[in-house]
A and B are shown apart, each in its own frame.
Chain A
Amino acid sequence: MSTQAEETRLARIAHLRRQQPRPKFLYLSLLAIMLAGGWAWTAGDLYPSVLTDSQRSANLERFIGKLTPAPVRASGDWSDFRPWAMELLIEGEALKAVGMTLALATAAAALSGFFALLFIPGAARNLSAPRPLGITGGRSAFPLIWGIIHKVIRLAFVFTRSLPEYILGFLLISILGPDPWALVLALAIHNFGILGRLGSEVVENAPPRPARTVIAHGGGRLGAYLTAILPESFNRMIVYFFYRWETCVREATVLGMLGVISLGFLITNAKAARSFDQMVFFVLLGALIVLAGDLLSLLVRRWLRVER
């Protein structure tokens, strides 16, 4: 009896195993990724380095030797660190650069959020349709136009997202000159694409009933968006906004390298002057701001998630 039970059990397992879905696409993707990885590792150097190993270790030694703050190196006493740091912060304009970095991120996030909000209803599949939210009775003179609007805005979102902030910043500075506008717009254009896409997904996933009611009572798409959908999904939108603000702060520390006062600017200057102690000080200051930004964003998001 027991052997028979065992046999049926094994047969059942074999049957289940045969029934297991084996999607070809997943396996092919895995294979493709493996091949791509193998190619990446074996196709030779990306950058033919001209330095020999001994030059490299000499470089490293010089760098590490200059890492401790200059006055501490001279006196061997870490109590000299505080006046040195204070001087960098105030006279070295590090505090100003911190403020500029945060301002860049905030201005850019707000700008991109504002414009994303304007374009989101056009990109959301449920609103940008001849019959918004599946409500019958609405009649559109050109039913096809909604599909076109939706596709064009979506494509614009992907396109702006595909442009890296740093390259945008570089191009905008070559057009506008060294103006903070260039950096703000660079951050804003890239994040416009991301916030727009995330936002239109939020709108598509919002509960349709309140919006349907608005439309059934004679409201338009915009009315439904402003009075029913936005209030409903406000918290989710704000969560995304803060998530992007956080990445803007991180990105803004770097954009200064392009030549407008912010931490990146001070870092490249210190590097050019070979004051590696100052360079590392500014880098760590930047890390501190990014962490503070993360923390603030985390607190706000948690607060919004609890609040109803």
Chain B
Amino acid sequence: MTAVFIALAVIPPALNLRFIIFILTLTNIFAMLAISWNLLSGYMGLLSLGHSFFFAGGGYAAAIITLNTGIPPPLAMLAGALVVTGLGCLIGLPSLKLRGHFFALVTLVIPIIAYQVTNAIPQLGGHDGIFGIPPISRDANLVYLASLMLTLFGVLTTYAIVRSRLGVIFSCIKDDEAASMAAGIDVPRYKLYCLAISIFLAGLAGGFYAFLNGVISPATYELEKASLPLLMTLLGGKATVLGPVVGAYIVQTITETLKIEVLIRSRLLVYSALALAIFMLFPSGIVGYFRRRLYVHT
């Protein structure tokens, strides 16, 4: 794994292909988004269909902060993620009481509301969004390395959580809420913790996205941004540490190779077909599949 990471850090900048580097940077951002989704929906079992809100929210907050105060982008990203975490928790607090599909439904609606609100408020850039967001660095290689560090941070965070007492608690809540309460777990509190961590990571990814593109618009709320992390995580393996990253690289590669005019129009069809194939071939995802094979042999 370390070897792969080092290879990813060294080879693309050495080749110095701007296009590839941009795509890989984007991939890392989506990997981070998938990691954030995996924590909430994979490990905790709360299906979120609204991660695009946390993503775009982080982007908006970071953009507004840096444009209004002149704070350097990395700090603005952090602040933006904190702002959207606070906002998301406020919205999430009542919906955490909902069980199963109802939580998913609420999260599905949130980005739609956010889209309308952003459209209507000129201070948020309205329909056109916010322009002229300064880049993290003029050097594309540096930005790429930063995105790689971001992904690594996400992976390590997941690993630390899964290995800790928090990981056991999240698994218990996913498996059985009533039994968790009987075992002494303050279920609402830990759900909120998980939600907050997940939103924070998604917000970081969103902030990075805004600085990479230089613009953030209501289009970021679109369903695709909410469904991509879901698809990536399921493909790579939900409730696995590396699953979301593996999934993100595969999906992003496929998306970019299929960027032919005809296929762009039918990309939802391609996604759906891919999702179906995953569920049939690898119900526990690619990482889950290999993990299972490994366990059988040991």
The answer to whether A binds B is no
Chain A contacts to B: CB under 8 angstroms? none
B positions within 8 Å CB-CB of A: none
